[in-house]
Amino acid sequence: MSFLHNSSLGLVDSPGKKSSSSPRVLSILSSVLERSIQKNESSSKASKKKEVVTIFHCLQAPSLSIRQYIERIFKYSRCSPSCFVVAYIYLDRFLQQINGCLTRLNVHRLLITSFLVAAKFVDDE
């Protein structure tokens, strides 16, 4: 019986390959979040619909990019790459439930919150 490993799914680099310091899933996640934000911000400008402000919104966007933020969380949390996938699922489900959208003003806070819940579920012993 064969089990799926992170490297067979393409989420991390294979052991024989030269790898960067962070797993591939982190760059994929940051790209998905960036595209989602761009799409949401362009559609809100086109519809001129006012955004609903939540407790997750900042007054101004943080200077740290999403990619840098995700890599920093990975570096200091020492959690598995699968934890980031679960965090994205939680983030997506939460936004669907409140009928909200991801913006530069809320992505960092929503990401760290969903990551914390995912880490407790996936990586805690």
1: in domain: no
94 within some domain: yes
For residue 4, pLDDT over 80 is answered with: no
- Residue 77 falls inside a structural domain: yes
Q: What angle do CA 32, 27, 36 make, to 5 degrees?
A: 15
| pLDDT category of residue 102 using cuts at 50, 70 and 90 | very high
- Please state the φ and ψ torsions of residue 108, each to the nearest 5 degrees: -65, -45
Number of domains in the chain: 1
pLDDT in tens, 27-79: 999 999 999 999 998 887 777 766 777 888 888 889 999 999 999 999 999 89
pTM: 0.77
Residue 48 domain flag: no
Please determine, for residue 1, whether its predicted confidence score (pLDDT) is greater than 50: no
Indicate whether 86 belongs to any domain: yes
More confident residue, 8 or 94: 94
The boundaries of the domain holding residue 96 are: 54-125
Q: Is residue 70 part of a domain?
A: yes
Answer for the pair 110, 91: CB distance below 8 angstroms, yes or no. yes
- Give the model's pLDDT for residue 12: 54
Name the one residue in this structure whose structure tokens are 């799914």: 9
Q: What is the pLDDT of residues 79-90, one digit of tens each?
A: 999 999 999 999
pLDDT surpasses 80 at 9: no
Domain presence at residue 45: no
Assigned domain for 10 exists: no
